[in-house]
Protein backbone atom coordinates (compact mmCIF):
# COMPACT_ATOMS: atom_id res chain seq x y z
CA UNK A 1 0.00 0.00 0.00
CA UNK A 2 1.30 3.46 -0.88
CA UNK A 3 0.60 6.38 1.43
CA UNK A 4 1.14 9.95 0.21
CA UNK A 5 1.10 12.97 2.52
CA UNK A 6 -0.41 15.97 0.73
CA UNK A 7 0.09 18.20 3.84
CA UNK A 8 -2.21 19.28 6.71
CA UNK A 9 -4.50 16.25 7.25
CA UNK A 10 -4.71 15.28 3.58
CA UNK A 11 -3.48 11.87 2.45
CA UNK A 12 -3.79 9.49 -0.46
CA UNK A 13 -3.84 5.74 0.14
CA UNK A 14 -3.44 3.43 -2.83
CA UNK A 15 -3.23 -0.31 -3.34
CA UNK A 16 -2.29 0.11 -7.00
CA UNK A 17 -5.87 -0.50 -8.08
CA UNK A 18 -7.88 1.90 -5.97
CA UNK A 19 -6.99 5.25 -4.44
CA UNK A 20 -8.63 6.74 -1.37
CA UNK A 21 -8.17 10.44 -0.62
CA UNK A 22 -8.64 11.54 3.00
CA UNK A 23 -9.50 15.12 4.03
CA UNK A 24 -8.34 16.67 0.72
CA UNK A 25 -7.85 20.31 1.71
CA UNK A 26 -5.73 21.60 -1.18
CA UNK A 27 -7.17 24.88 -2.51
CA UNK A 28 -6.10 27.59 -0.06
CA UNK A 29 -3.64 25.25 1.67
CA UNK A 30 -0.18 26.87 1.45
CA UNK A 31 1.59 23.48 1.67
CA UNK A 32 -0.65 21.46 -0.65
CA UNK A 33 1.45 19.05 -2.68
CA UNK A 34 -1.17 18.74 -5.43
CA UNK A 35 -3.87 20.86 -6.97
CA UNK A 36 -7.38 19.42 -6.64
CA UNK A 37 -7.51 18.69 -10.37
CA UNK A 38 -4.32 16.60 -10.07
CA UNK A 39 -5.89 14.19 -7.60
CA UNK A 40 -6.98 10.86 -9.03
CA UNK A 41 -9.11 8.98 -6.52
CA UNK A 42 -11.99 6.50 -6.47
CA UNK A 43 -13.10 7.40 -2.97
CA UNK A 44 -12.86 10.48 -0.77
CA UNK A 45 -13.06 9.99 2.99
CA UNK A 46 -14.00 13.08 5.01
CA UNK A 47 -13.54 13.07 8.80
CA UNK A 48 -15.54 16.24 9.45
CA UNK A 49 -16.97 19.27 7.71
CA UNK A 50 -14.48 21.99 8.68
CA UNK A 51 -13.16 23.56 5.47
CA UNK A 52 -9.57 22.45 6.18
CA UNK A 53 -10.81 18.83 5.94
CA UNK A 54 -13.86 18.81 3.66
CA UNK A 55 -11.71 20.99 1.42
CA UNK A 56 -11.96 19.98 -2.23
CA UNK A 57 -13.89 16.76 -1.61
CA UNK A 58 -16.81 17.75 -3.86
CA UNK A 59 -14.60 18.93 -6.76
CA UNK A 60 -12.45 15.80 -6.58
CA UNK A 61 -15.49 13.54 -6.38
CA UNK A 62 -17.07 15.26 -9.39
CA UNK A 63 -13.90 15.15 -11.50
CA UNK A 64 -13.25 11.45 -10.74
CA UNK A 65 -16.82 10.15 -10.36
CA UNK A 66 -15.63 9.18 -6.90
CA UNK A 67 -17.71 8.26 -3.89
CA UNK A 68 -17.47 10.36 -0.74
CA UNK A 69 -17.48 8.35 2.49
CA UNK A 70 -18.35 10.30 5.61
CA UNK A 71 -20.81 10.59 8.46
CA UNK A 72 -24.52 10.61 7.57
CA UNK A 73 -24.93 14.39 7.73
CA UNK A 74 -21.98 15.17 5.44
CA UNK A 75 -22.82 12.30 3.06
CA UNK A 76 -26.40 13.56 2.75
CA UNK A 77 -25.15 17.09 2.03
CA UNK A 78 -22.87 15.68 -0.70
CA UNK A 79 -25.71 13.67 -2.25
CA UNK A 80 -27.75 16.89 -2.42
CA UNK A 81 -24.86 18.41 -4.39
CA UNK A 82 -25.25 15.58 -6.91
CA UNK A 83 -22.24 13.57 -5.78
CA UNK A 84 -22.16 9.87 -4.87
CA UNK A 85 -21.77 9.48 -1.12
CA UNK A 86 -21.89 6.63 1.36
CA UNK A 87 -23.12 7.49 4.86
CA UNK A 88 -21.58 5.92 7.94
CA UNK A 89 -21.68 6.83 11.60
CA UNK A 90 -19.57 6.41 14.69
CA UNK A 91 -18.64 2.79 15.39
CA UNK A 92 -19.99 1.60 12.06
CA UNK A 93 -17.92 0.31 9.19
CA UNK A 94 -18.60 -0.88 5.68
CA UNK A 95 -16.73 -2.90 3.06
CA UNK A 96 -15.92 -1.17 -0.21
CA UNK A 97 -14.15 -2.31 -3.41
CA UNK A 98 -10.74 -1.43 -1.90
CA UNK A 99 -11.28 -2.59 1.67
CA UNK A 100 -13.05 -1.14 4.68
CA UNK A 101 -13.83 2.18 6.36
CA UNK A 102 -14.97 2.46 9.97
CA UNK A 103 -15.74 5.68 11.81
CA UNK A 104 -14.38 6.24 15.30
CA UNK A 105 -15.16 8.94 17.81
CA UNK A 106 -13.29 12.24 17.76
CA UNK A 107 -13.77 15.09 20.19
CA UNK A 108 -14.26 18.05 17.89
CA UNK A 109 -16.90 20.04 15.99
CA UNK A 110 -18.17 19.61 12.45
CA UNK A 111 -19.67 22.79 11.02
CA UNK A 112 -19.44 24.14 7.48
CA UNK A 113 -20.17 27.53 5.87
CA UNK A 114 -22.75 26.12 3.46
CA UNK A 115 -23.59 29.56 2.02
CA UNK A 116 -19.94 30.58 2.15
CA UNK A 117 -20.44 32.49 5.37
CA UNK A 118 -22.74 31.18 8.10
CA UNK A 119 -21.63 28.01 9.86
CA UNK A 120 -24.08 25.15 9.72
CA UNK A 121 -23.75 22.02 11.84
CA UNK A 122 -22.93 18.88 9.86
CA UNK A 123 -23.31 16.21 12.50
CA UNK A 124 -20.29 15.34 14.59
CA UNK A 125 -16.61 14.92 13.87
CA UNK A 126 -15.09 11.47 13.46
CA UNK A 127 -11.83 9.65 13.09
CA UNK A 128 -11.52 6.90 10.50
CA UNK A 129 -9.99 3.46 10.21
CA UNK A 130 -9.28 2.77 6.55
CA UNK A 131 -8.17 -0.72 5.53
CA UNK A 132 -6.68 -0.94 2.04
CA UNK A 133 -4.09 -3.27 0.55
CA UNK A 134 -4.25 -5.33 3.74
CA UNK A 135 -3.07 -2.38 5.87
CA UNK A 136 -5.11 -0.45 8.41
CA UNK A 137 -4.63 3.28 8.76
CA UNK A 138 -6.10 5.20 11.70
CA UNK A 139 -6.62 8.84 10.71
CA UNK A 140 -7.61 10.54 13.95
CA UNK A 141 -9.21 13.53 12.22
CA UNK A 142 -9.23 16.58 14.46
CA UNK A 143 -9.54 15.58 18.09
CA UNK A 144 -8.35 16.01 21.59
CA UNK A 145 -6.72 13.08 23.32
CA UNK A 146 -9.21 10.51 24.60
CA UNK A 147 -8.88 7.36 26.61
CA UNK A 148 -10.82 5.25 24.08
CA UNK A 149 -7.84 5.47 21.72
CA UNK A 150 -6.67 2.53 23.82
CA UNK A 151 -9.77 0.66 22.70
CA UNK A 152 -9.07 1.53 19.06
CA UNK A 153 -5.60 0.03 19.47
CA UNK A 154 -6.99 -3.01 21.24
CA UNK A 155 -9.71 -3.71 18.67
CA UNK A 156 -7.61 -3.02 15.56
CA UNK A 157 -4.05 -3.82 14.56
CA UNK A 158 -3.19 -0.33 13.35
CA UNK A 159 -0.37 -0.25 10.81
CA UNK A 160 -0.22 3.53 10.56
CA UNK A 161 -1.64 6.17 12.92
CA UNK A 162 -2.00 9.68 11.52
CA UNK A 163 -2.12 11.99 14.53
CA UNK A 164 -2.68 15.76 14.74
CA UNK A 165 0.07 17.55 16.70
CA UNK A 166 -0.65 21.24 16.01
CA UNK A 167 -2.37 22.11 19.30
CA UNK A 168 -4.97 24.92 19.56
CA UNK A 169 -7.74 23.08 17.61
CA UNK A 170 -6.55 19.53 18.34
CA UNK A 171 -4.15 17.56 20.48
CA UNK A 172 -0.84 19.25 21.01
CA UNK A 173 2.43 17.43 20.61
CA UNK A 174 2.63 15.73 24.00
CA UNK A 175 -0.99 14.58 23.92
CA UNK A 176 -0.34 13.18 20.45
CA UNK A 177 2.63 11.23 21.84
CA UNK A 178 0.25 9.79 24.45
CA UNK A 179 -2.19 8.96 21.64
CA UNK A 180 0.53 6.94 19.91
CA UNK A 181 1.15 5.13 23.20
CA UNK A 182 -2.58 4.31 23.42
CA UNK A 183 -3.05 3.18 19.81
CA UNK A 184 0.31 1.34 19.51
CA UNK A 185 0.57 1.56 15.72
CA UNK A 186 3.41 0.01 13.75
CA UNK A 187 4.12 3.56 12.55
CA UNK A 188 2.98 6.98 13.80
CA UNK A 189 2.98 10.00 11.45
CA UNK A 190 2.29 13.59 12.59
CA UNK A 191 -0.23 15.78 10.75
CA UNK A 192 -2.24 19.00 11.14
CA UNK A 193 0.72 21.29 11.86
CA UNK A 194 2.40 24.37 10.35
CA UNK A 195 -0.41 25.03 7.83
CA UNK A 196 -1.36 28.15 9.79
CA UNK A 197 0.72 30.13 12.30
CA UNK A 198 -1.58 29.11 15.12
CA UNK A 199 -0.81 25.38 14.67
CA UNK A 200 2.97 25.57 14.40
CA UNK A 201 4.57 22.48 15.93
CA UNK A 202 7.81 20.52 15.81
CA UNK A 203 7.23 17.18 14.05
CA UNK A 204 10.81 16.06 14.77
CA UNK A 205 10.18 16.38 18.49
CA UNK A 206 7.01 14.28 18.11
CA UNK A 207 8.95 11.63 16.20
CA UNK A 208 11.71 11.48 18.81
CA UNK A 209 9.29 11.26 21.73
CA UNK A 210 7.25 8.49 20.09
CA UNK A 211 10.40 6.55 19.20
CA UNK A 212 11.46 6.79 22.84
CA UNK A 213 8.34 4.73 23.63
CA UNK A 214 9.54 1.97 21.29
CA UNK A 215 7.07 2.89 18.55
CA UNK A 216 8.24 3.73 15.04
CA UNK A 217 7.47 7.26 13.90
CA UNK A 218 8.43 9.44 10.99
CA UNK A 219 7.77 12.90 9.66
CA UNK A 220 6.71 13.02 6.01
CA UNK A 221 7.58 15.87 3.68
CA UNK A 222 4.66 17.49 1.89
CA UNK A 223 4.08 15.33 -1.17
CA UNK A 224 6.16 12.43 0.13
CA UNK A 225 5.03 8.92 -0.72
CA UNK A 226 5.96 5.87 1.34
CA UNK A 227 5.35 2.15 1.05
CA UNK A 228 3.53 0.68 4.03
Kindly list the residues in this chain that would bind Ni ion in the complex (CB under 5 A): 50, 142
Nearer to Ni ion, 8 or 50 (CB): 50
Instruction: For residue 165, give every residue at least 6 positions away whose Cβ sits within 8 Å of its Cβ, in sequence order, or none.
Output: 171, 172, 173, 176, 190, 191, 192, 193, 201, 203, 206
Nearer to Mn ion, 25 or 182 (CB): 25
Instruction: For residue 48, give every residue at least 6 positions away whose Cβ sits within 8 Å of its Cβ, in sequence order, or none.
Output: 54, 71, 74, 106, 108, 109, 110, 122, 124, 125, 126, 141, 142
List the single partner that 56 binds among Mn ion, Ni ion, none, CB under 5 to 8 Å by kind.
none
Rounded (10°) angle between helices 57-64 and 72-80: 60
Nearer to Ni ion, 48 or 102 (CB): 48
List the single partner that 167 binds among Mn ion, Ni ion, none, CB under 5 to 8 Å by kind.
none
Is 138 in contact with 22 (CB distance < 8 Å)? no
Q: Please, what is the minimum distance in Å from the beta carbon of residue 52 to Ni ion?
A: 6
Nearer to Mn ion, 10 or 33 (CB): 10
Q: Please, what is the minimum distance in Å from the beta carbon of residue 166 to Mn ion?
A: 8
Q: Please, what is the minimum distance in Å from the beta carbon of residue 7 to Ni ion?
A: 15
Q: Which residues bind Mn ion (CB under 5 A)?
A: 52, 142
Helix (H/G/I), strand (E/B), else coil: 22: strand
Nearer to Ni ion, 106 or 217 (CB): 106
Q: Please, what is the minimum distance in Å from the beta carbon of residue 135 to Ni ion?
A: 25
Is 142 in contact with 174 (CB distance < 8 Å)? no
List the single partner that 159 binds among Mn ion, Ni ion, none, CB under 5 to 8 Å by kind.
none
Helix (H/G/I), strand (E/B), else coil: 82: coil
Rounded (10°) angle between helices 203-211 and 173-183: 40
Helix (H/G/I), strand (E/B), else coil: 132: strand
List the single partner that 209 binds among Mn ion, Ni ion, none, CB under 5 to 8 Å by kind.
none
List the single partner that 139 binds among Mn ion, Ni ion, none, CB under 5 to 8 Å by kind.
none
Q: Please, what is the minimum distance in Å from the beta carbon of residue 192 to Mn ion?
A: 6
Amino acid sequence: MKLTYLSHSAFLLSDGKHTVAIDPFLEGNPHAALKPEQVKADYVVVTHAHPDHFGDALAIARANHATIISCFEIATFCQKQGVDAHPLHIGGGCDFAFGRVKLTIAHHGSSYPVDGENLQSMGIAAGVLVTIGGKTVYHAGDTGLFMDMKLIGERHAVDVALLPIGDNFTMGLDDAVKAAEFVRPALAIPMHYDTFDIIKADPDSFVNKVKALGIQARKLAFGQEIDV
